[in-house]
Amino acid sequence: VATLSDVAARAGVDVSTVSRVLRADPRQAVRPETRLRILQAADELDYQPDVIARSLRTGRAMTVALVVPDLDNIGFTAVVRGVQRAAQEQGYAVLIAELRDGGDSRAVEDIAGRVDGLLVASAHTDEPWLARLATRLPVVLVNRRARGFPGAVIVDDEAGTALAVSHLVELGHRGIAHIAGDLATDTGQRRLDGFRTALRSHKLRARAEWNVSGDYTEAGGRRAVTELLAGKERPTAIFAANLVSGLGAIAGLREHGCEVPDDMSVVVMDEHPLAAVTVPPLTTVSMPLEEMGAAAMRMVIESLGGSAASELCVDTQPALIVRGSTKPVAKGS
Amino acid sequence: VATLSDVAARAGVDVSTVSRVLRADPRQAVRPETRLRILQAADELDYQPDVIARSLRTGRAMTVALVVPDLDNIGFTAVVRGVQRAAQEQGYAVLIAELRDGGDSRAVEDIAGRVDGLLVASAHTDEPWLARLATRLPVVLVNRRARGFPGAVIVDDEAGTALAVSHLVELGHRGIAHIAGDLATDTGQRRLDGFRTALRSHKLRARAEWNVSGDYTEAGGRRAVTELLAGKERPTAIFAANLVSGLGAIAGLREHGCEVPDDMSVVVMDEHPLAAVTVPPLTTVSMPLEEMGAAAMRMVIESLGGSAASELCVDTQPALIVRGSTKPVAKGS
């Protein structure tokens, strides 16, 4: 069996350089041509993966689990991508576990037995399974905060919400409704708070009846517009707390004969390539979700090394992407 | 440190039962109440994860990589879910690697050093990285076939395509176009073949100018309709080879003043919750993608045990889900 030294000798470099390349040690960069030479030497010598040896040395499984509430929610794609990227840079594998709200947590508890740490992007942080696992493993929350969990990475939801509201105000809208997320979640609450703050900063009044929950789901967004349109006064614009509830809202509006953007402007939180091809194409707020995922992965690995976990807000700012679901308010609205 | 025997003694069961539960051994089911008692005992004794010990015993990393071309393509969600489910049942972790067409394969080659096997759902199977890795690891292709790779799990694309075409024919459509996938891929080719066969079975002629490539992407679908609408004769219906190219097509049609379903019916391959809230809601063909992902995972684990890999077609049949993007052909069309 070939060893690291054998590979080093063949590639004409020292063992530590080989180790950096083959063990995906991120501490120091290796020049591409050196890297290639090492990979070729390893290949020629049939050097075997050393994840087991590494696990023995470090006492770690070299695996972290990411718990998401719903793989179908396209808002999580970028988070998964960021987590994967950072994991790979540090030689870790990521196990993704889907745990729907109120779902059977057994799968996640099983998984916990084979990982070094846990990234949690599921909505409800007060569940017993999470408390149980947190006594055994480092936990980092992804875009949510909860008492008892100091490790958390969030994005600036308030800034993103302010961008959305300012865009609508600049288009002349004064009656702006919010299809909120699940208000039992920290992130749903933060976006609602951000919405109220943004309205105040534009000297607009937040009407209670124009804050309706869309639960972050398609069906929730559709239900929310039924409620909004049943009210005495109609808003002229909607800010939806995520992409899928915004799509649900647009479908619901259309069922009520209300066309977007002619009769109602809609701007949504979260960006995704699909937003460019929906009818109408969506005006979105792009949040740094990939950066957040990567930061969360780095934080959980640091916790393994003994660093105290703390809260981190990703400093990349949100960006507004204007497409076809928003337009200037109609005269007389 | 608590051992398996300690846990067994506390739970009042034998060691092999504890092993089945804690090591996620899938060979035999354990009754839920016994399972619960074992998990409680393990928890009380602070029994540590044994993935490292297990890796040593088996000589495996207990990890499999899944290579997908694009995490943003919502068609892969169900595949990922199926792979994860089967992996968990057998105590494996899944590392997901995104490798866009023509992208840098270094990330995947790095990953290969720390996994036991590879599931490949990326489109192009003639890439040098895949040939290189296949000499070292068992490889199972997911919904594609390629020379030199006997291990593959596919779904019945021909049956799915036939469902879509029959639905359109029943609505009175005779001029049916196909927005094909990437024809350099096996799956793109299979859907095109299925389309031609289905037309023939309905005594309809396949016109070359009504087969245009949509590359499985939003942008491709949009480009494809521009081509279709520029022809001398217009089709009255379109079958798109996947969901995102279908959405791109609908957006493109609208830009050309052609409304779906009034001026053109569109049915797409692949089902996703978003299909219910797009405007219009999409008529889809639901393929057994989750079953396919699970079967692929099981196949790669079996290969590790020495079973010869072979081709498997998932026997769950596709289903047509009729929504708002298709309607009877207009009189006089």
Convert the pLDDT of each residue in A101-144 to its tens digit: 777 777 777 777 678 899 999 766 677 888 888 888 899 999 98
Minimal CA separation from A45 to chain B, in Å: 12
Q: Which residues of A touch B30 (CB under 8 A)?
A: none
Spatial neighbors of B72 by CB under 8 A, at least 6 apart, are A74, A77, A272, A273, A274
The amino acid sitting at B71 is L
B88 closest CB neighbour out of A55, A56, A110: A110
* Helix and strand totals (H; E) in chain B: 12, 12
Rg (CA), chain B: 24
pLDDT higher than 60, residue B50: no
> What confidence tens digit (pLDDT) does each residue in A256-305 have?
999 999 999 999 999 998 899 898 999 999 999 999 999 999 999 998 87
Mutate which: B38, B81, B274, vs A, most A CBs within 10 A = B274
Q: What percentage of residues in chain B have a pLDDT greater than 70?
A: 91
pLDDT higher than 80, residue B42: no
Please report the number of interchain residue pairs, chain A to chain B, with beta-carbon separation below 8 angstroms: 161
Q: Given an 8 Å threshold on Cβ–Cβ distance, is B96 in contact with A80? A: yes
Task: Provide the whole-model pTM.
Answer: 0.79
Residues B154, B118 contacting (CB under 8 angstroms): no
Closest chain B residue to the Cα of A99, Cα to Cα: B81
Phi, psi (5° rounding) for residue B240?
-100, 140
Q: Given an 8 Å threshold on Cβ–Cβ distance, is A277 in contact with B97? A: no
Phi, psi (5° rounding) for residue B28?
-145, 140
Spatial neighbors of B255 by CB under 8 A, at least 6 apart, are B222
Q: Which residues of B touch A274 (CB under 8 A)?
A: 72, 74, 218, 244, 247, 274
Q: Given an 8 Å threshold on Cβ–Cβ distance, is A279 in contact with B77? A: no
Q: Which residues of B touch A115 (CB under 8 A)?
A: 49, 93
Q: How far is it, in rounded angstroms, from Cα A147 to Cα A39?
A: 46
A51 closest CB neighbour out of B24, B114, B254: B114
Residues B67, B137 contacting (CB under 8 angstroms): no
Mutate which: B4, B85, B114, vs A, most A CBs within 10 A = B114
Mutate which: A45, A52, A70, A217, vs B, most B CBs within 10 A = A52
A72 closest CB neighbour out of B114, B273, B281: B273
Q: Given an 8 Å threshold on Cβ–Cβ distance, is B114 in contact with A55? A: no
Higher pLDDT, B114 or A257: A257
CA distances from B188 to A118, B42, B128, B141, B184 (A): 38, 50, 21, 15, 7
Q: Which residues of B touch A279 (CB under 8 A)?
A: 250-251, 254, 278-280
Using the CB atoms, write b or e for B15-28: b if 16+ within 10 Å.
Answer: eebbbbbbbbbeee
Q: Given an 8 Å threshold on Cβ–Cβ distance, is B221 in contact with A93? A: no
Strands A283-286 and A319-321: antiparallel
| Mean pLDDT, residues B26-30 | 61
Closest chain A residue to the Cα of B93, Cα to Cα: A95
pLDDT higher than 70, residue A49: no
CB atoms within 10 A of CB A28: 8
Peptide bond into A261 cis (omega under 30): yes
Q: Given an 8 Å threshold on Cβ–Cβ distance, is B80 in contact with A96? A: yes
- Indicate the length of chain A as a whole number: 333
CB atoms within 10 A of CB A102: 8
pLDDT higher than 90, residue A27: no
CA angle A16, A17, A21 (to 5 degrees): 115
Closest of B47, B46, B44, B55 to residue B92, by C-alpha? B55
pLDDT higher than 90, residue A173: yes
As a whole number, the mean pLDDT across chain A is 87
Minimal CA separation from A59 to chain B, in Å: 8
Higher pLDDT, B115 or A1: B115
Mutate which: B279, B284, B297, B325, vs A, most A CBs within 10 A = B279
The token pair at B202 is: 């309905």
Q: Which residues of B touch A22 (CB under 8 A)?
A: 113
Higher pLDDT, A62 or A198: A198
User: Residue A54: its pLDDT value, please?
Assistant: 58
Closest chain B residue to the Cα of A94, Cα to Cα: B95
User: Residue B96: its pLDDT value, please?
Assistant: 83
* Burial (Cβ within 10 Å: 0-12, 13-18, ≥19) of residue A223: buried
Minimal CA separation from A35 to chain B, in Å: 10
Q: Given an 8 Å threshold on Cβ–Cβ distance, is B84 in contact with A93? A: no
Q: Which residues of B touch A55 (CB under 8 A)?
A: 51-52, 55
A222 closest CB neighbour out of B251, B277, B280: B277
Angle subtended by helix axes B4-11 and B15-22, to nearest 10: 110
Q: Which residues of A touch B274 (CB under 8 A)?
A: 72, 74, 218, 244, 247, 274
A218 closest CB neighbour out of B39, B60, B276: B276
Closest chain A residue to the Cα of B47, Cα to Cα: A113
User: Residue B22: its pLDDT value, please?
Assistant: 66
Residues B63, B92 contacting (CB under 8 angstroms): yes
pLDDT higher than 60, residue B56: no
Confidence of residue B90 (pLDDT cuts 50, 70, 90): confident
Q: Which residues of B touch A38 (CB under 8 A)?
A: none
Q: Given an 8 Å threshold on Cβ–Cβ distance, is A132 in contact with B52? A: no
Q: Given an 8 Å threshold on Cβ–Cβ distance, is B62 in contact with A107? A: no
pLDDT higher than 90, residue A174: yes
* Helix and strand totals (H; E) in chain A: 12, 12
Closest chain A residue to the Cα of B94, Cα to Cα: A95
Q: How far is it, in rounded angstroms, from Cα B296 to Cα B274?
A: 26
ipTM > 0.90, yes or no: no
Q: Given an 8 Å threshold on Cβ–Cβ distance, is A115 in contact with B218? A: no
Give A119's strand partners.
A66, A140
Residues B115, B135 contacting (CB under 8 angstroms): no
Helix (H, G, I), strand (E, B) or coil at A259: coil
> What confidence tens digit (pLDDT) does each residue in A86-96 have?
988 887 888 88
Residues B295, B78 contacting (CB under 8 angstroms): no
Dihedral of alpha carbons A184, A186, A187, A188, sign: positive
Residues A157, A285 contacting (CB under 8 angstroms): no
A114 closest CB neighbour out of B49, B60, B280: B49
Q: How far is it, in rounded angstroms, from Cα A214 to Cα A218?
A: 8
B273 closest CB neighbour out of A52, A218, A250: A218
CA distances from A299 to A21, A66, A90, A295, A308 (A): 22, 13, 12, 6, 9
